[in-house]
Amino acid sequence: MLPARHTTPLDALITRADGVLRVMAGVAHAARPTPALHVDDAALSEQEQRHAAGLMRVNHVGEVCAQALYNAQARFARSPALREQFIQAGKEEEDHLAWTAERLKELGSRPSLLNPLWYAGAYAIGSVAARLGDGPSLGFVVETERQVEAHLNSHLDLLPAQDAKSRAIVEVMRDDEVVHANTAQDMGASATPAPVKALMQAMAKVMTSTAYYL
């Protein structure tokens, strides 16, 4: 029997790099089946299909950013309990990443061409939030998830009425984001300053308006 191989810093770096590349390429493994699994696909006009694809691409970008944020916050978290919470939330967000990627394929579309940019920017922001301390880092999660919840609710209004498959996915994503926000609040989140909230909203608007097309 061969002796167990110890993990080296290089191993950890390669593992992280592989994970990043998979996220940006839209390759993700879902632990849960897609909420759209047993939902019938409706006939969409060409315009409706393009619109639904644009919205789901935006949602996919949001999940790319979520992976980056949670990876950064887990890496720089100051307490083991908080690190584990970020890791678990990231796994649940990976379900969303896989579901939206699958739906994009069904709609005959693709992920955003700017995923490397979105990931890098989100990772930098998550790193800064984590280094401010666990309270501010959790507060950043609360505000992020509240904004994502509102964004997903707006997509339920914007998606074609008959696109039940996309709607089923978005509804479960929204419910998960609510849980993540509530958990972060319960773990001792600090209030996010109003100027930071406004900046987050402005950045999200740029991302969503761009990702709809690219």
pLDDT value at 168 more than 80: yes
**pLDDT surpassing 90 at residue 162:** yes
Least confident of 11-15, 68-72, 166-170, 171-175: 11-15
pLDDT in tens, 173-203: 999 999 999 999 999 999 999 998 999 999 9
Check: CB of residue 165 under 8 Å from CB of residue 55: no
CA distances from 26 to 101, 134, 163 (A): 6, 30, 22
The pTM of the whole model exceeds 0.95: no
Q: What is the mean pLDDT of residues 161-168?
A: 97
> Other C-beta atoms within 10 Å of 31: how many?
9
Select from 130, 128, 122 the least CA-distant residue to 83.
130
What pLDDT, on a 0 to 100 scale, did the predictor assign at position 30?
A: 87
Structural domains of the chain sorted by starting position, each given as residue range(s) with its CATH number in brackets = 43-211 (1.20.1260.10)
Least confident among 39-43, 106-110, 166-170: 39-43
Please report the pLDDT score of residue 53 as a whole number.
Answer: 97
Backbone dihedral region of 195: left (phi > 0), alpha (psi from -120 to 50 degrees) or beta?
alpha
Crossing angle (nearest 10°) for helices 46-76 and 164-186: 20
Cβ atoms of residues 166 and 36 within 8 Å: yes
